[in-house]
Chain A
Amino acid sequence: MGLENFTEITWTMAAQVVVLGFIGGVLSGFIGSGGAFFMTPGMMNLGVLGPVAVASNITHKFGKAMVGSRRHADLGNVDKKLSLFMLITAAIGIRIAVTVMEFFFEKGDEHSTTRGAGADLYISIVFVVILSVVSIAMLRDIIKSRKNQEKGPSTKIVDFLNRIKLHPMIYFPVADVRVSLWVILICGLATGYLAGTIGVGGFVGVPVMIYVFGVSATVAAGSELYLAMFMGAFGAINYALVGLVDIRLTLLLFTGSLFGIFIGAYGTKVVNEVLIRLVTSLIILLCVISRLIAIPAYLQELGYLKISPDHNEYFNSASKFLLYLSGITGVLLILYNVFKAYFQRKKIQASLITDMPQTAVREFSGKAT
């Protein structure tokens, strides 16, 4: 590993990373996930090697989760026991992810014309597969709830696991669930592996806690953030060990994202719940398509696709355009609602005093005199 892994950061690129961080932060505050689904491919589009983008983002996630999980813990939404049990195998998952990444990074370049193309392809494929499933499941959920069919997640898996009772069963008091140790370890492994590979452990960790363990959505989000703090730390350590963390990118991401998070979180107060879920799933879907468009370029670089290398620039530009389009549209929609509510707040005549009470003030005043 050496300096060749790191991209030169110009002023323009620095500004773009800050914007990526800001968009990722707004989406993160709004959706409640880490925002890596936007920031990681965004950095790859800017020419950052995939593994470096993942490593810098996971380091960013570590610092951010450390600051953010305190608030969730104060609200009693964190089942620390559950998070720590998951961490046992999540750490192994991250280690596997880093090792596989190293393999693709070092060995995958043997037939490649461009450094890191093997790892970039591997990250992109995992990204597309996992996030396609997530976004389609979310859209399906919205359509179902609009049709007034199922009102919540299916409990089939929870019921099935409760019936077979794979001992030892462990009780988690805050989440108020009893889950088999083996199930937790397998799910922890998957969460850690995905967090270490594409930086989006939350997209797997939260649904796993809800659908497989039967944890409520609030506790799942809080516990995942607590887990993310440790996974982020472990991921950062592992990637720092192989010299892939670009601290400059982490710093630039912080500069944008920590502002964005506040705006995104404010957005959740003023935007309708269904709209939040719809915006989230569409943004993720567009990010998936954006990454899908970039895949032919990696295949060409690795010699698996016989097309002119000149076309790679088009693929990359189209991918970048779609990613920015999804992020910027989503953020503008959120910002529009946030500022609309912000300015309305000043105009609003908050207290409506009815006729019946012509009274409302007088009755109270009457008693005062």
Chain B
Amino acid sequence: MQIICISRFSYGYGKELAEKLADKLGYQSLAREELVDKATEHGIPVGKLETAIVKRQLFTEELGIETDRFKAFMTASLCEQALKGGIVYHGRGGHLVLPGLIHVLRIRAIANLEDRIKMVMQRMNIARKQAKQYIEQVDEDRRKYSRFFYNVDCDDPSHYDIVINAAHLAVDNSASALMHLAQLPEFQLTPALNQKIHDLLLESKCRLAIYQDERTRGVKVTVSAEKENVSITYIPRHGKKAEAIPSVIERIDGVKSLICTVATTNILYIQEQFNPELPSFQHLVEIAAKWNASVGLIRLVQDDIEKETNEVISPEFNTAKDVGGILDDEPAVERKEESGYGMPETINKLIQAGRAGACQTIHGGMKSLANKIKQEQNYSLVVVGDVFTSYNNLIRKRLKRDMISTLSDQASAPVISTDEIEEQYLFRPKQWIMTVVYALLSSLMLFLVFTNQHEILEFLSQSEDWNRVLAIIAVTIFAPLAAYLIGEFSHNIMKFLKLE
């Protein structure tokens, strides 16, 4: 049940490599082109999407939904195939539609430009210059597509486990080397990852069903699934259509429960162990109510715990089909998962407050968490609570600080610690004092300007060179200062009125 994704150039040797590798491992090989054909048959306008991205056309909300629909289709197809017995996918960024699956083997296959040119010349029967131009254009379009569709640079080797160059390696030998690589423990399925594949499949099926159904078509949703419990959030202006979501989801097999929440935005709350009684949690709910946001929970399982609880049995050579050790679940691990780590109580509190978002467990520590944050840029705020709890206080603080800094680089939203929530986002007595200070300073400025308007205007319109320079300096200092004081005062008032 392995997943191997090969990212390839056009007219490289990625296709041949993928097919050879699939053959050696006994897996199914799946090309992006096949996936696109199937998606188009399902009514997803992939061609139109690609044109809009490559031609940089304005992305309407409708096209945004079609993009998500295509991503959901890709995820569902890859997960389904992986559950059937392993898959080698070749195309663009397959691993990027499989967030959280850290066992995916990510390969970048590159080839010599000259060889590619020759291949194009032969296949298309065109001159060398045209063939070169053609390849450059296709490569450029693919880069644009990856940057837009996945928000990554497909040429960046940091997105792959290995980059394989065909210049000096025969396809067969490359496939053999990769087959050995695929046997390493890092690329094996664990019980937690197996569950994650099921969750991703369910999640994408729900997204597809919502986008497909006449009643809910056009509703922009965020879906997440954890152990058959599905959470869906949608924005308030889609409220009317979204009423049909439960009946659409009802038809999907394997959904145990559904939480459907209306939210303008999402807040992500990361903890190792949740406690709804904590004051920081109450503050978070207060902010969520103010922003009309849902609160998504992520329970973070650190690397060392991961290693301890999700051991896999290294497969023997040629037993790749059976790899994974899914049946080797340790009861102790399951018991630990069942204890809930405060998640059920916390999600119940959020349901009561009408703020429930997705809840997930992320294994693999910092690396997996950073990947998830990077891939899901739909948060307005990321709050990091108690993490690294197995360490002493000083180390914990340092690690948490580092984590916030790393996540800040990945997320497009502010990442803060639970200790900072109250001060930064809630209106407290300190904010009142600052509001009064800004109000007084703004009023003083208005008072001084209007009681001395004659002198000020005379000063601003004097004709001597030296005075002109002074007037310029005064204007360039005054304008931003006034904007800052009045802006901060307005911002605080809006914060108080909960209209940020």
Point out residues on A near B: beta carbons under 8 Å.
1-3, 5-6, 9, 14, 59-60, 62-64, 66-67, 74-76, 145, 151-153, 155, 158-159, 176-177, 210, 214-217, 233, 236-237, 240-241, 243, 245-248, 250-251, 254-255, 258-259, 261-263, 266, 269-273, 338, 341-342, 344-345, 348-357, 359-361, 363-368
Whether the pair A236, B476 counts as a contact (CB closer than 8 A) is: yes
Whether the pair A269, B487 counts as a contact (CB closer than 8 A) is: no
- Tell me if B138 is interfacial: C-beta within 8 Å of chain A: no
In the complex, how many angstroms separate the beta carbon of A220 from the nearest chain B beta carbon?
Answer: 10
Closest to A271 in B: B237
Whether the pair B472, A237 counts as a contact (CB closer than 8 A) is: yes
Point out residues on B near A: beta carbons under 8 Å.
48, 52, 55-63, 144, 147-148, 229, 236-237, 243, 245-247, 249-250, 255-264, 292, 294, 338, 340, 343-345, 347-348, 351, 353-356, 412, 414, 442, 445-446, 449-450, 453-454, 456-458, 460-463, 468, 471-472, 475-476, 478-484, 486-487, 489-491, 493-494, 498-500
Contacts of B255 in A (CB 8 A): 356-357
Closest 3 CB pairs of A and B: A350-B354, A152-B57, A63-B483
Q: List 20 A-B contacts (CB under 8 A).
A: A3-B457, A63-B484, A64-B487, A67-B484, A151-B48, A152-B58, A158-B55, A217-B58, A217-B59, A243-B468, A251-B446, A254-B482, A262-B500, A351-B355, A352-B243, A352-B246, A356-B249, A356-B255, A357-B255, A360-B257
In the complex, how many angstroms separate the beta carbon of B91 from the nearest chain A beta carbon?
Answer: 21
Whether the pair B246, A356 counts as a contact (CB closer than 8 A) is: yes
Q: Which of A152, A240, A357 is within 8 Å of B472, CB to CB?
A: A240
Contacts of B245 in A (CB 8 A): 352
With contacts A214-B56, A360-B258 taken as known, whether A243 is within 8 angstroms of B476 at the C-beta atoms is no
Contacts of B499 in A (CB 8 A): 262-263, 266, 338, 342
Closest to B265 in A: A269
Whether the pair B490, A259 counts as a contact (CB closer than 8 A) is: yes
Give CA–CA (A297, B347) in the complex, Å: 67
Q: Which of B61, B256, B480 is within 8 Å of A62, CB to CB?
A: B480
Closest to A358 in B: B257
Whether the pair B457, A210 counts as a contact (CB closer than 8 A) is: no
Whether the pair A351, B261 counts as a contact (CB closer than 8 A) is: yes
Most buried by A among B52, B351, B500: B351
Contacts of A367 in B (CB 8 A): 338, 340, 344
Given contacts A6-B461, A351-B261, A368-B345, 8 further A-B contacts (CB under 8 A): A6-B457, A236-B476, A348-B354, A351-B259, A353-B351, A354-B249, A356-B257, A360-B229
Contacts of A258 in B (CB 8 A): 483, 486-487, 489-490
Give CA–CA (A349, B58) in the complex, Å: 35
Contacts of A247 in B (CB 8 A): 449, 456, 460, 475, 478
Give CA–CA (A269, B458) in the complex, Å: 45
Whether the pair B237, A5 counts as a contact (CB closer than 8 A) is: no
Whether the pair A255, B457 counts as a contact (CB closer than 8 A) is: no
Contacts of B486 in A (CB 8 A): 254-255, 258
With contacts A152-B60, A241-B468, A248-B449 taken as known, whether A363 is within 8 angstroms of B257 at the C-beta atoms is yes
Contacts of A62 in B (CB 8 A): 476, 479-480
Closest to B294 in A: A350
Closest to B246 in A: A354
Closest to A178 in B: B140
Give CA–CA (A75, B500) in the complex, Å: 17
Closest to B471 in A: A240
Whether the pair B59, A240 counts as a contact (CB closer than 8 A) is: no
Give CA–CA (A59, B472) in the complex, Å: 11
Closest to B256 in A: A363
Whether the pair A67, B483 counts as a contact (CB closer than 8 A) is: yes
Contacts of B292 in A (CB 8 A): 345
Contacts of B354 in A (CB 8 A): 348-351
Whether the pair B56, A216 counts as a contact (CB closer than 8 A) is: yes
Whether the pair A155, B494 counts as a contact (CB closer than 8 A) is: no
Give CA–CA (A67, B491) in the complex, Å: 12
Q: Which of A59, A151, A364, A365 is within 8 Å of B63, CB to CB?
A: A151
Give CA–CA (A243, B236) in the complex, Å: 50
Give CA–CA (A254, B479) in the complex, Å: 9
Whether the pair A63, B237 counts as a contact (CB closer than 8 A) is: no
Give CA–CA (A352, B233) in the complex, Å: 10
Contacts of A261 in B (CB 8 A): 490
Whether the pair B344, A365 counts as a contact (CB closer than 8 A) is: yes
Give CA–CA (A352, B262) in the complex, Å: 9
Whether the pair B147, A350 counts as a contact (CB closer than 8 A) is: no
Give CA–CA (A292, B423) in the complex, Å: 51
Contacts of A66 in B (CB 8 A): 479-480, 483
Contacts of B494 in A (CB 8 A): 259, 262-263
Contacts of A271 in B (CB 8 A): 237
Q: Which of B52, B353, B500 is within 8 Å of A152, CB to CB?
A: B52
Contacts of B462 in A (CB 8 A): 243
With contacts A155-B57, A247-B456, A350-B261 taken as known, whether A60 is within 8 angstroms of B479 at the C-beta atoms is yes
In the complex, how many angstroms separate the beta carbon of B33 from the nearest chain A beta carbon?
Answer: 24
Whether the pair B264, A354 counts as a contact (CB closer than 8 A) is: no
Contacts of A348 in B (CB 8 A): 236, 262, 354
Contacts of A176 in B (CB 8 A): 144, 147
Give CA–CA (A2, B464) in the complex, Å: 12
Give CA–CA (A233, B338) in the complex, Å: 61
Contacts of A145 in B (CB 8 A): 60
In the complex, how many angstroms separate the beta carbon of A75 from the nearest chain B beta carbon?
Answer: 6
Whether the pair A354, B258 counts as a contact (CB closer than 8 A) is: yes
Give CA–CA (A254, B472) in the complex, Å: 19
Contacts of B456 in A (CB 8 A): 247-248
Most buried by B among A76, A151, A159, A247: A247
Give CA–CA (A271, B99) in the complex, Å: 32
Most buried by B among A9, A14, A367: A367
Contacts of B482 in A (CB 8 A): 63, 250-251, 254
Contacts of A246 in B (CB 8 A): 457, 460
Contacts of B294 in A (CB 8 A): 350
Q: Which of A3, A5, A259 is within 8 Å of B493, CB to CB?
A: A259
Closest to B478 in A: A247
Whether the pair B476, A237 counts as a contact (CB closer than 8 A) is: yes
Contacts of A356 in B (CB 8 A): 246, 249-250, 255, 257-258
Whether the pair A210, B259 counts as a contact (CB closer than 8 A) is: no
Contacts of B463 in A (CB 8 A): 1, 243
Whether the pair B61, A273 counts as a contact (CB closer than 8 A) is: yes
Closest to B359 in A: A364
With contacts A76-B412, A247-B460, A361-B351 taken as known, whether A151 is within 8 angstroms of B338 at the C-beta atoms is no
Give CA–CA (A250, B479) in the complex, Å: 8
Give CA–CA (A352, B59) in the complex, Å: 31
Give CA–CA (A291, B258) in the complex, Å: 56
Q: Which of A63, A155, A216, A243 is within 8 Å of B480, CB to CB?
A: A63
Whether the pair A155, B55 counts as a contact (CB closer than 8 A) is: yes
Whether the pair B355, A350 counts as a contact (CB closer than 8 A) is: yes
Contacts of A345 in B (CB 8 A): 236, 292
Give CA–CA (A353, B55) in the complex, Å: 42
In the complex, how many angstroms separate the beta carbon of A284 from the nearest chain B beta carbon?
Answer: 19
In the complex, how many angstroms separate the beta carbon of A116 from the nearest chain B beta carbon?
Answer: 14
In the complex, how many angstroms separate the beta carbon of A187 from the nearest chain B beta carbon?
Answer: 16
In the complex, how many angstroms separate the beta carbon of B386 from the nearest chain A beta carbon?
Answer: 19
Give CA–CA (A59, B482) in the complex, Å: 11
In the complex, how many angstroms separate the beta carbon of A128 from the nearest chain B beta carbon?
Answer: 27
Give CA–CA (A338, B390) in the complex, Å: 47
Closest to B445 in A: A251
Whether the pair A151, B58 counts as a contact (CB closer than 8 A) is: yes
Closest to B351 in A: A351
Contacts of B56 in A (CB 8 A): 155, 158, 177, 214-216
Contacts of B61 in A (CB 8 A): 273
